[in-house]
């Protein structure tokens, strides 16, 4: 009897446990539902937390402009990452392009009669041409001629230029004024030197117009004043790299209008940014 009694108790206990277990499970269901809602909200928080991590080494002004508008920033980054990777590829003293980086869609600029060229053998990537034509036409409407003076340079041509510069002025000056092969943005086929290629260009009406308006057409001043320590190059008021209008908007709105910071950020974080954007 005692055994039967304890068996009965044991069965009751097991049943109670099972029931409690079940009810515990049941009651956890709505909780799980709630949790899904919370984790949706949290999906935004990790995104901004992760952005904050990526920005640790960037100047406070850049951190502030991005963190105060993470949605707007990520929406633009999404558009930027949909562009071909090489639009934001780095070509500088720390990030050399290989000898074999030769753009496939180079076109001779003599094909476009609307362009004013200082030499005949200039080429650019086709991807630049529509916005360049638009920009040149708009400047022309204001009576200004944007002279295209230097464009695509092959690895070998840059090598020849650099070696010549070293012979003429010595290595130190050559490093500052010219670029070692592979480290010139001109090898990208999207970079243009305008006008006289001198400091005075900044004071000419076309030089001023470009500085004010180039970004609207996707052209970004690569080596601004005050950033030689960052870019590795002294200011070049004539040297613009095409990074598309999406790129220049990102640069202006979120990177204190400094191309180098934009390029660094995208290249350091390309994969992490893609992960964040997949959360949307």
Contact residues for Zn ion (CB under 5 A)? Answer: 193, 239
Q: Which is nearer to Zn ion, 127 or 179 (CB)?
A: 179
For residue 148, the minimal CB distance to Zn ion (Å) is 11
Orientation angle between helical segments 244-254 and 259-278, nearest 10 degrees: 100
Please report how close the Cβ of residue 179 comes to Zn ion at its closest, in angstroms.
Answer: 8
Closest approach of Cβ 201 to Zn ion, in Å?
Answer: 11
Residue number of the CB atom closest to Zn ion:
239
> Torsion-angle region of residue 96: left (phi > 0), alpha (psi -120 to 50) or beta?
beta
Q: How far is the CB of 236 from Zn ion (least distance, A)?
A: 6
Q: What is the total residue count of the chain?
A: 280
**Complex with Zn ion: residue 123 or 239, whichever CB lies closer:** 239
Closer residue to Zn ion (CB): 14 or 160: 160
Closest approach of Cβ 241 to Zn ion, in Å? 9
Give the integer Cα–Cα distance in Å for 41 and 35: 10
Residues 6+ apart with CB under 8 A from 230: 258, 260, 261
Closer Cβ to Zn ion, 91 or 258, answer by number: 91
- Per the DSSP assignment, residues forming a β-bridge with 117 are 148
DSSP character for 97? P
User: What DSSP letter does each residue of 30-67 carry, written as one string?
Assistant: HHHHHHHHHHHHHHHHHHHHHHHHHTTTS-HHHHHHHH
CB closer to Zn ion out of 165 and 193 = 193
C-alpha span between 226 and 235 (Å, rounded): 8
CB nearer to Zn ion: pick between 158 and 251: 158
Provide the minimum distance between the beta carbon of 235 and Zn ion in the complex, in angstroms, as a whole number.
Answer: 12
Backbone dihedral angles phi then psi of residue 41, each to the nearest 5 degrees: -65, -40
């Amino acid at each position: 009897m005692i055994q039967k009694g304890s068996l009965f108790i044991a069965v009751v206990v097991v049943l109670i446990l099972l029931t409690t277990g079940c009810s515990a499970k049941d009651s956890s269901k709505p909780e799980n539902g709630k949790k899904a809602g919370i984790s949706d909200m949290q999906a935004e928080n990790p995104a901004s937390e992760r952005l904050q991590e990526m920005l640790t080494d960037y100047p406070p002004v850049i951190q502030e402009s991005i963190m105060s508008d993470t949605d707007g920033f990520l929406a633009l980054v999404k558009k930027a990452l949909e562009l071909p990777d090489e639009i934001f590829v780095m070509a500088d003293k720390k990030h050399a392009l290989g000898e074999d980086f030769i753009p496939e869609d180079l076109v001779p600029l003599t094909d476009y009669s609307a362009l004013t060229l200082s030499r005949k053998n200039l080429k650019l990537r086709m991807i630049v041409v529509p916005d360049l034509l638009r920009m040149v036409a708009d400047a022309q409407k204001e009576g200004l001629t944007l002279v295209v003076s230097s464009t695509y340079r092959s690895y070998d041509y840059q090598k020849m230029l650099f070696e010549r510069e070293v012979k003429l002025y010595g290595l130190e000056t050559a490093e500052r004024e010219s670029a070692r092969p592979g480290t010139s943005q001109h090898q990208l086929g999207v970079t243009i030197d305008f006008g006289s290629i001198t400091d005075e260009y900044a004071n000419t009406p076309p030089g001023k117009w470009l500085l004010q308006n180039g970004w609207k057409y996707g052209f970004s001043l690569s080596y601004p004043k005050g950033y030689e320590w960052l870019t590795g190059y002294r200011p070049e008021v004539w040297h613009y790299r095409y990074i598309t209008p999406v790129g220049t908007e990102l640069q202006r709105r979120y990177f204190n209008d400094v191309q180098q910071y934009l390029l660094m950020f995208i290249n350091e974080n390309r994969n992490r940014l893609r992960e964040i954007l997949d959360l949307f």
